[in-house]
A and B are shown apart, each in its own frame.
Chain A
Amino acid sequence: MSEITLTIDGKLCVAKEGESVLNVARRNGIFIPALCYLNNCSPTLACRLCLADVDGKRAYTCNAKIKEGMVVVTKSEEIEKERRAIMEVYDINHPLECGVCDQSGECELQNYTLEMGVDSQSHCIADTQRPSKDWGFIHYDASLCIVCERCITVCKDMIGDSALKTVPRGGAELDKEWKEKTQKDAYAMWNKMQKSIVGLASGGDTLECSDCGECTAVCPVGALVGSDFQYSSNAWELKKIPASNPHSSDCSLMYYDVKHTNTSISKPKIYRVSSEYNYAPLHGGARYGYDFQNEVDGKDEEAFDKAVAFLKNEADTIAFSSYITNEEALILQKLKEKYGYKLINPDAYRYQTFLKNFTKTSGKSLYSGDLDKVRASNFVVSLGGMLRSDSPNAGYAMNNALSMNKGAGIYFHPIGDKVVSGYSKNILSALHVVGAEEAIVYLLLDLFADKEKLPASIKEYLADFHTITKKTITDGEEGQTKEIEVDTNALLEMIGLEEDFCEKVEKLLDKKDTFSLIVGEDVYTHKQSANIAKLLGLLERTTPFDVLLVPSKTNTLGVALICDLSKTRGHKTLGYNEKGDFTLCALGKGDLDMPALNQQEGTFSSMNKRVVPTNVAVPFDGYCLNDIANALDLEREWTVDYTAHLPKKAGFKAVAFDSLPNEFDNAGNENRGYLLEIFELTCSDEIESMSDIKVYKEPLVYRANPINQFSPFTNKAHQLNEAGALYASQEFVASLGLKHKDMVNITNHQGDKLVVAVMVDSSIEGMIPYLPTFDRKIDVSPFFKDGYRFAEVTIKGVSHE
């Protein structure tokens, strides 16, 4: 894209073609007021505050694309008069309840009213009764709403749920006489606002969405707030503690908003989570799953001594989960180096092996994709993950790419997702046969690879699947017969796709030039994962795709880069947030309590290949892993002293924790931690041919968590606390002759049994239900012993006799 020079308020600005004037101005430190515009979302032109003189003509800067040599004037007497009139109109009938409003001073209506100097009101119209509504996690007070439509825009363009829309307000119609008395834009804005209000797209009374709460974050006034937070604290009393999402590998920037617990207890408590909605969306797990801290009364010296003694005398294995910081992972690695413990983490081990195999053919030490690249691309493919529950932020990025870049995409998964298929008209839901991931990667290579770059063996192998047959067709109108060549790709049948799949993809590919591939956990756990990894590496090298290997848990990538992991356990295991002979646990009820991730400082390695810091929101009075390490003669005062010593070989940098930034700048640049360094490697093209796809017989069950649940940590939070169940589509539940919340009995060939409730997940399609891992009371591990996320089971309703 070419560069363009333009002048805004006398300042020379350089920008890329296709950008809006508003964004260029913001990046260059020129203030243009705007209420309704959100970064990375489409302009709605609801507020009209961003008006400016563009080459002498009045234009709305959020919508106006830049042109070479453009001259923009953002301030003049005329413009300021118009803006003041707009704010005056916004203030008509706005309840004067600022004293109790939850926005408490963070209100953009208040800010702009003062900014534009509105000190009197000369307009009036009869008010309409607008009752407030409870939408589950979200509370909507329609009387405070200024209908800027930010919530609707973010839900559609960013999140992809499209759960909100404007509905008729009812009530008084705007009298024509105001037209002469009011400024032009203010009148137009008023006319639109007076007619509409925010309502549910479903038309019902209950909000059916993924409960991400992004709409409450973007609301400029106090109309949309979290139901739990409502009236619990003034925003100005809350101290914002910058952190990173501890529940999933996007590790988005978030703030824990803390204040003293109550009038008599001064210990900090987290009241809510806030985010930088203009730059990074936050999923519901992070927004509502904040109070998962581990409360202890003090240092349990006895248990601590036991833990140290156990490590010194008995343990030969440390098993841990990936919900730890990079520093803790390094401590475990140092302990391994010093005492020879085996480090066990099946999830990170699979990812590590996968990444190793991937780099063998890709020629780089890490994958090239990240969420920004997904967002910037116009063709996005998702493979091997239930996108919306595994990695919601990847889903947001995909939806954003589809809606903002006129993009298209393919969603490969055996379980259909109605919301993903609703992202755009140009998304193809490819519901494939379970276990066909390897064939899919071959198909992607066949469809997208630069055939010149492909090794000859692969080229031939791919050609073998094609058979060209001649077919005679009859032209309907004139009765003439024609002979055409039909290319049949045998891969399609193996994957379970329709014959016209390639033609559909061909149509979607029109005018597409930037490609992203989101890869999920299914392929890491696949029997053929080693070969799939190599194929994906080849795919990255020979196709325009940027591959994003989504780490399955928060710090899976970090653990995979830092620790030397083993496959099998030894005799005695110390479990850190995992089962073991002696357990250190941040969830409580372990042999020794550990701080949870909101009680620790440290860094995570995110899926964007960025090392991002997180801070302590709530204090922890007990011992942490570093204390144990110190008792075992690794001497560092604080856990974060390890930050500068993270392995450089793996791409980390020698930067101290305290000098890591954690913010976005005005232009939206991510000043958070640092990016992992990527090394060039020599690559080989050793790839095996495809093994037969193992036939999985239904009924099958999938291992996945429902939306907003990621681990027992999210489930510990009071807003997300719920009992796990078997989640299934409506048609599956009906086929068993059951109802929502009936009990079912799940068994497998090995004789493992589980009795759980069945719950309808209305967003999924097909006959494969899923079992969650977030509920510690339900042990699903016996069903997924080989790690693969699909397993054969039999499911029967429990009879009540």
Chain B
Amino acid sequence: MELKDFQNRDIAPGYIFFDGEKKPQNGWESFKRVVKRSVKGELFVGLWIVFREMIRFDIHTVQYPIEKIEMSPRYRAIHRLLRLLESENERCIGCGLCEKICIANCIRMETRLDENKRKEVTKYSINFGRCIFCGYCAEVCPELAIVHGNDYENASEQRAHFGLKEDMLTPIDTFRAKQQKEFSGFGALSDNADENIKKTPLAY
């Protein structure tokens, strides 16, 4: 592309260009515009709709906190760290891909060799002062361990209050009560995942 192509902003030929309202040329024209804008019938149209809906009692307001909206599974709120279904262990294996992919550079983790000679994630933190909730971490996670929750009630004195592993990991009681919710947003397995697998021969 050349500079000329960039300068041509008429990208979609069907556009109608509106030059805008004419500017008032003198005092009289200005006065006319003020009167026209102020006492137009639309004002009363609006007032009528409000009145009509009021007497119909067709109210869309959610009665928060008595009522709460169910969020879409793809909603990206404060993160959650999930547990493995069978063993109750943390799903996170400490691969560090979320740390690497994070474009806000807000994820940090500490890992070590644990007593069972496995990689253990001792600390995991997300700096929510920096997080832009892009969802890359959930998408890249090979274990579906870091996911976005849909809990949007995040009032706190400090954003840091949600950022530690203890805060994000499914509490063991919640897990045992089978209350851990799977995430079906970005990074979750597709419905036809099985069909896409190429099998490797095994000899046993």
Same complex origin of A and B: yes
- A interface list, Cβ under 8 A from B: 99-100, 104, 119-126, 132, 172, 230-234, 236-237, 260, 262-264
Q: Does B96 contact A (CB under 8 A)?
A: yes
Known contacts A124-B201, A124-B203, A263-B110; is A231 also within 8 Å of B94 by CB? yes
Within 8 A of A (CB), among B117-144: 117-120, 123-125, 142-143
Separation of A124 and B201 alpha carbons in the complex (Å): 6
Known: A119-B198, A126-B204, A263-B123; 7 extra A-B contacts, CB below 8 A, are A99-B93, A99-B95, A99-B97, A124-B203, A234-B99, A234-B100, A262-B108
Pairwise interchain contact A99-B112, C-beta atoms closer than 8 A: no
Pairwise interchain contact A125-B203, C-beta atoms closer than 8 A: yes
Q: Which residue of A lies closest to B117 (CB)?
A: A132
Set B108, B113, B118, B204: member contacting A263, Cβ < 8 A: B108
Set A100, A230, A232, A264: member contacting B93, Cβ < 8 A: A100
Set A99, A122, A232: member contacting B201, Cβ < 8 A: A122
Known contacts A99-B95, A124-B203, A126-B204; is A263 also within 8 Å of B109 by CB? yes
Separation of A172 and B203 alpha carbons in the complex (Å): 10
Which B residues touch A122, using CB under 8 A?
A: 201
Nearest-CB distance from A745 to chain B (Å)? 42
Separation of A120 and B197 alpha carbons in the complex (Å): 11
26 A-B residue pairs with Cβ-Cβ distance under 8 Å, sorted by A, are A99-B93, A99-B97, A99-B142, A99-B143, A100-B94, A100-B118, A123-B201, A124-B202, A125-B203, A126-B203, A172-B203, A230-B113, A231-B94, A231-B112, A231-B113, A232-B111, A234-B95, A234-B99, A236-B100, A262-B108, A262-B110, A263-B108, A263-B109, A263-B110, A263-B123, A264-B125
Q: Does B89 contact A (CB under 8 A)?
A: no
Q: Which residue of B lies closest to A91 (CB)?
A: B200
Pairwise interchain contact B111-A233, C-beta atoms closer than 8 A: yes
Set B94, B109, B112, B200: member contacting A124, Cβ < 8 A: B200
Separation of A123 and B200 alpha carbons in the complex (Å): 8
Known contacts A120-B198, A122-B201; is A231 also within 8 Å of B119 by CB? yes
Pairwise interchain contact B200-A121, C-beta atoms closer than 8 A: yes
Which B residues touch A125, using CB under 8 A?
A: 203
Which B residues touch A260, using CB under 8 A?
A: 108
Which B residues touch A121, using CB under 8 A?
A: 200-201
Which A residues touch B118, using CB under 8 A?
A: 100
Nearest-CB distance from A224 to chain B (Å)? 15
Separation of A692 and B157 alpha carbons in the complex (Å): 85
Which A residues touch B200, using CB under 8 A?
A: 120-121, 124
Separation of A125 and B200 alpha carbons in the complex (Å): 11
Pairwise interchain contact B119-A100, C-beta atoms closer than 8 A: yes
Which B residues touch A99, using CB under 8 A?
A: 93, 95, 97, 142-143
Pairwise interchain contact B96-A237, C-beta atoms closer than 8 A: yes
Pairwise interchain contact B112-A232, C-beta atoms closer than 8 A: yes
Separation of A442 and B32 alpha carbons in the complex (Å): 117
Q: Which residue of B lies closest to A125 (CB)?
A: B203
Separation of A263 and B124 alpha carbons in the complex (Å): 7
Nearest-CB distance from B176 to chain A (Å)? 27
Which A residues touch B110, using CB under 8 A?
A: 262-263
Name, among A119, A234, A262, A263, the residue most crowded by chain B CB atoms within 10 Å (CB to CB): A263
Which B residues touch A124, using CB under 8 A?
A: 200-203
Pairwise interchain contact A263-B142, C-beta atoms closer than 8 A: no
Mark interface residues in B82-110 (1 if CB within 8 Å of A CB, else 0).
00000000000111110110000000111
Which B residues touch A104, using CB under 8 A?
A: 96
Which A residues touch B125, using CB under 8 A?
A: 263-264
Mark interface residues in B44-87 (1 if CB within 8 Å of A CB, else 0).
00000000000000000000000000000000000000000000
Q: Which residue of A lies closest to B99 (CB)?
A: A237
**Shortest beta-carbon contacts, A-B, top 7:** A99-B95, A124-B201, A124-B203, A234-B96, A100-B119, A121-B200, A263-B108
Separation of A210 and B67 alpha carbons in the complex (Å): 70
Separation of A520 and B42 alpha carbons in the complex (Å): 100
Known contacts A123-B201, A231-B113; is A262 also within 8 Å of B94 by CB? no
Which B residues touch A120, using CB under 8 A?
A: 198, 200
Separation of A104 and B94 alpha carbons in the complex (Å): 11
Separation of A124 and B199 alpha carbons in the complex (Å): 12
Which A residues touch B198, using CB under 8 A?
A: 119-120
Q: Which residue of B lies closest to A100 (CB)?
A: B119
Separation of A233 and B113 alpha carbons in the complex (Å): 11
Which B residues touch A264, using CB under 8 A?
A: 125
Nearest-CB distance from A590 to chain B (Å)? 33
Separation of A172 and B95 alpha carbons in the complex (Å): 32
Nearest-CB distance from B98 to chain A (Å)? 11
Separation of A236 and B94 alpha carbons in the complex (Å): 14
Which A residues touch B123, using CB under 8 A?
A: 262-263
Which B residues touch A262, using CB under 8 A?
A: 108, 110, 123
Which A residues touch B119, using CB under 8 A?
A: 100, 231
Which A residues touch B117, using CB under 8 A?
A: 132
Separation of A126 and B201 alpha carbons in the complex (Å): 11
Separation of A132 and B113 alpha carbons in the complex (Å): 13
Mark interface residues in B163-203 (1 if CB within 8 Å of A CB, else 0).
00000000000000000000000000000000000101111
Nearest-CB distance from A284 to chain B (Å)? 21
Q: Which residue of A lies closest to B163 (CB)?
A: A263
Pairwise interchain contact B111-A231, C-beta atoms closer than 8 A: yes
Separation of A640 and B85 alpha carbons in the complex (Å): 58
Separation of A231 and B111 alpha carbons in the complex (Å): 6
Nearest-CB distance from B136 to chain A (Å)? 16
Which A residues touch B202, using CB under 8 A?
A: 124
Separation of A121 and B108 alpha carbons in the complex (Å): 36
Separation of A124 and B202 alpha carbons in the complex (Å): 6
Which B residues touch A237, using CB under 8 A?
A: 96, 99-100
Q: Which residue of B lies closest to A121 (CB)?
A: B200
Which B residues touch A236, using CB under 8 A?
A: 96, 100
Which A residues touch B97, using CB under 8 A?
A: 99
Nearest-CB distance from A450 to chain B (Å)? 60
Separation of A22 and B22 alpha carbons in the complex (Å): 78
Nearest-CB distance from A681 to chain B (Å)? 57
Nearest-CB distance from A274 to chain B (Å)? 18
Nearest-CB distance from A125 to chain B (Å)? 5
Separation of A262 and B107 alpha carbons in the complex (Å): 11
Separation of A100 and B95 alpha carbons in the complex (Å): 5
Separation of A111 and B35 alpha carbons in the complex (Å): 75
Name, among B94, B110, B124, B125, the residue most crowded by chain A CB atoms within 10 Å (CB to CB): B110
Nearest-CB distance from A392 to chain B (Å)? 28
Q: Which residue of A lies closest to B94 (CB)?
A: A100
Nearest-CB distance from A121 to chain B (Å)? 4
Separation of A160 and B125 alpha carbons in the complex (Å): 46
Q: Which residue of B lies closest to A134 (CB)?
A: B117
Q: Which residue of A lies closest to B124 (CB)?
A: A263
Name, among A119, A237, A260, the residue most crowded by chain B CB atoms within 10 Å (CB to CB): A237
Separation of A262 and B110 alpha carbons in the complex (Å): 6
Separation of A456 and B22 alpha carbons in the complex (Å): 114
Which A residues touch B109, using CB under 8 A?
A: 263
Nearest-CB distance from A471 to chain B (Å)? 69
Which A residues touch B95, using CB under 8 A?
A: 99-100, 234
Nearest-CB distance from A363 to chain B (Å)? 58
Separation of A237 and B98 alpha carbons in the complex (Å): 12
Name, among B200, B202, B204, the residue most crowded by chain A CB atoms within 10 Å (CB to CB): B200
Name, among B97, B99, B100, B113, the residue most crowded by chain A CB atoms within 10 Å (CB to CB): B113
Which B residues touch A123, using CB under 8 A?
A: 201
Q: Which residue of B lies closest to A122 (CB)?
A: B201
Nearest-CB distance from B119 to chain A (Å)? 4
